[in-house]
């Protein structure tokens, strides 16, 4: 199952679900819901965290969290 961690900088996708049954509430409140388009803008200079563009703003999360979010490539 493709996750946000697998997307490379510049790639876009749509959130399809979560790897576990209890996705972190904070991510959901920021709008990372199934059906949401998301773009991986870049990775931090040291590789972690990553910069995402979602719903018009930039959100930064760690690879650990990115791994829990399932996507399909656009």
Partner 1 sequence: MPAPTPSAEVRTRRIALAGNPNVGKTTVFNLLTGLRQKIANYPGVTVERKSGRLVRTEHVEIIDLPGTYSLNPKSIDERVAYDVLVGRMDGEAPPDMVVCVVDATNLERNLYLVTQIVDLGLPVVVALNMMDAAQEAGLEIDVHTLSKRLGLPVVPITARSNVGFDDLRAAMAEQPEPSTEAKWGLMSAVDDPVQRLMQQLDDEVPGLPERRRQFEALGALTSDPLLNPWKGRAPGFYQAVLDTRADLEERKVPYRMAEMTGRYGWLSPLAADVITRRKDPSEQTRSDKIDAVLTHRIAGPLIFAAILVLIFQAVFTWAIPAMDLIETTIVALGSGVRSIMPNGMIEDVMVEGVITGVGNVLVFLPQILLLFFFLGLMEDTGYMARTAFIMDRLMRRMGLSGASVVPLLSSYACAIPGIMAARTLANERDRLITIMVAPLMSCSARLPVYTLFIGAFIPVGAFFGFIGYQGLAMVSLYLLGTVMAFVAAWVLKRFVFKGSASMFVMELPPYRLPRMRQVLWRMVDRSKAFVVRAGRIIFGLSILLWFLASFPKANPDPAVENARAEVQAAYEARIDSIAAAEGLSAGELVARGPMDAVNRVEEQRQLQLDELAVENAGRQIRQSIIGRLGRAVEPIMRPLGFDWKISAGILSAFAAREVIVSTMATIYSVGEEGDGEPVLLRDALKADRYPNGEPVYTPLVAVSLMVFFVFALQCMSTLAIAHRETNTWKWPIVMWLYMFALAYVFSLLVYQGGQALGIG
Q: What is the rounded distance in angstroms from the CA atom of residue 15 to the CA atom of residue 22?
A: 15
Q: How far is the CB of 6 from partner 1 (least distance, A)?
A: 19
Angle at 21 between CA 67 and CA 61, to 5 degrees: 30
Q: Phi/psi of residue 64, each to 5°?
A: -60, -40
Output DSSP code: residue 27. Answer: H
* 69 lines the binding site for partner 1 (CB under 8 A): no
Question: CB of 52: closest distance to partner 1 in angstroms?
Answer: 9
From candidates 31, 38, 40, 70, binder to partner 1 by CB under 8 A: 31
Q: Which residues bind partner 1 (CB under 8 A)?
A: 21-31, 33-34, 36, 41-42, 44-49, 51, 55-62, 64-65
């Amino acid at each position: 199952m493709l996750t946000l961690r697998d997307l490379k900088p510049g790639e876009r996708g749509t959130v399809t679900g979560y790897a576990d049954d209890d996705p972190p509430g904070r991510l959901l409140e920021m709008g990372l819901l199934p059906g949401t388009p998301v773009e991986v803008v870049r990775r931090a200079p040291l590789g972690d965290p990553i910069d995402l563009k979602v719903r018009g703003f930039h959100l930064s999360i760690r690879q650990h969290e990115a791994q829990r979010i399932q996507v399909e490539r656009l």
